[in-house]
Amino acid sequence: MSESRERREFCPECGESVPPREEPLPGAPRDEARLLCDDCYFASFDLVDAPERVEVRVCSRCGAVHRGNRWVDLGAEDYTDVAVEEVTQALGVHLDAREVTWGVEPEQVDETTIRMHCQFAGIVRGSAVEADATVPVKIARQTCTRCGRIAGGSYAATVQVRAHDRRPASEERDRAVEIAREVVAEREDAGDRDAFLTEVDRTDDGPNLKLSTNKLGGRIADRVIQELGGSVSESATLVTEDADGNEVYRVTYSVRLPRFRPGDVIDPTPVGLTTTPGEGPVVVETVGDAVTGRRLRSGDRFRTDAELSAAAHLGHVDDGDPVTLVAVEDENAVQVLDPDTFETRSVPRPSFFDADAVTEGETVPAVKFDGEVFLVPEVDAEEGVSRMALVDFAKFCIGDES
């Protein structure tokens, strides 16, 4: 007898016959629920597995959110979107569901609680299934590791900004602090939560900056001398040992700004200002690996890699007022009003003086030293000078005790 019989399966729960199911692929786990009839299957079926509660840890100082085992800066103005994302990650949808769609409606209960009303829909065994879930989200305000370290005054490096044989100008002191904040902001934007400025101690001799890491301190010191010139040295002090027994050091970066800064008027060789044509006072334009500027008598470019330890500092161009141009005599001289006697006097016409850019009666930048008036060039404001002015430098003469 060759009669074929249809293979029948029965629900292990109620005994009702069920249509044959597809066999799982080789090596795949065998799900006993596949043997259940639809009634028994849906009787214990949950489309969504939702937690009873979700907690979101938020730093009360900086607003960072704790995820996994670390704090993350999200820049969120409120935490509704954060709560939605956390609930999304905590919810589980049944593997048998297909074409799943869902929506969420947040309800702000109070400042620290958001109730999430979630609706789900999908197809299971060819039938449309819907489910609702309400998940309360608690906003737990804490202090992140970074803010805790800042509040505790934690630091690993100190950057001391000083100047050689002078006190840093207020602009230099302020700019050094700005550079430190800029470097820290750059590291924060790059996701470095270990980068922060612990303390700024402003003194007349220069700021002392405490930084979170030695690497950050080195970056800031290098950036300061890159922009303001000078040199940097470092020294390390052993402070403790970590949990693994490794020695932990604090590093001090000593930044020394150059003796001169843009806008300073100096005499590189203080033997006499009128001995040789082309020599004499120089207005400093840049400092760094070399000092550059202009000779005030001739307008010739000046550059030296020497330390200028014997140079005399005569003053700065921002210490006075311009003089009035009376007339242009020739290619070698112009006439101006003496700022003290108001008499017309002839002064050297340097190469940087542009007679076409100024008319008689207008003011021109100049300095006065040892009874002689010199025209000065404009120095780029980005180099630290906002204007060039007339200065009576007689009071800055070497040996002057006043």
> Kind of pairing, strands 301-304 and 291-295?
antiparallel
Structure tokens, 328: 């242009």
pLDDT at residue 270 in the model: 63
CA 220 to chain centre: 10
Q: Identify the band that residue 23 occupies on the pLDDT scale cut at 50, 70 and 90.
A: low
What are the residues facing 139 on neighbouring strands?
Answer: 56
pLDDT at residue 2 in the model: 44
Task: Tell which wins on pLDDT, 400 or 221.
Answer: 221
Q: CA–CA separation, 334 vs 382, rounded Å? A: 29
pLDDT digits (tens, 9 = 90+) for 320-366: 568 888 888 888 888 888 888 888 988 888 888 888 888 888 888 88
Query: 319: buried, middle or exposed (CB in 10 Å: 19+, 13-18, 0-12)?
Result: middle
Counting residues of the chain whose pLDDT is more than 90, the rounded percentage is 19
Structure tokens, 171: 């602009």
Task: Tell which wins on pLDDT, 298 or 36.
Answer: 298
Long-range residue pairs from 332-336, CB within 8 A, at least 24 positions apart, any chain: 334/375, 336/364, 336/366, 336/373, 336/375
pLDDT average, residue stretch 181-210: 94
Contacts of 25 by beta carbon, 8 Å cutoff, 6+ apart:
none
pTM here is 0.66
What 3-state DSSP class applies to 278? Answer: coil
Query: 234: buried, middle or exposed (CB in 10 Å: 19+, 13-18, 0-12)?
Result: middle
pLDDT at residue 350 in the model: 86
| Cβ pair 21, 37 in contact under 8 A | no
pLDDT digits (tens, 9 = 90+) for 86-102: 888 888 888 778 888 88
pLDDT digits (tens, 9 = 90+) for 258-274: 888 888 888 887 654 44
| Cβ pair 56, 83 in contact under 8 A | yes
Task: Tell which wins on pLDDT, 389 or 225.
Answer: 225
pLDDT at residue 187 in the model: 93
Contacts of 341 by beta carbon, 8 Å cutoff, 6+ apart:
none
Q: Give the H or E element holding residue 9.
A: strand 9-10
DSSP string, 211-266: ES-HHHHHHHHHHHHHHH--EEEEEEEEEEE-TTS-EEEEEEEEEEE-S--TTEEE
pLDDT at residue 268 in the model: 84
348 DSSP 8-state letter: E
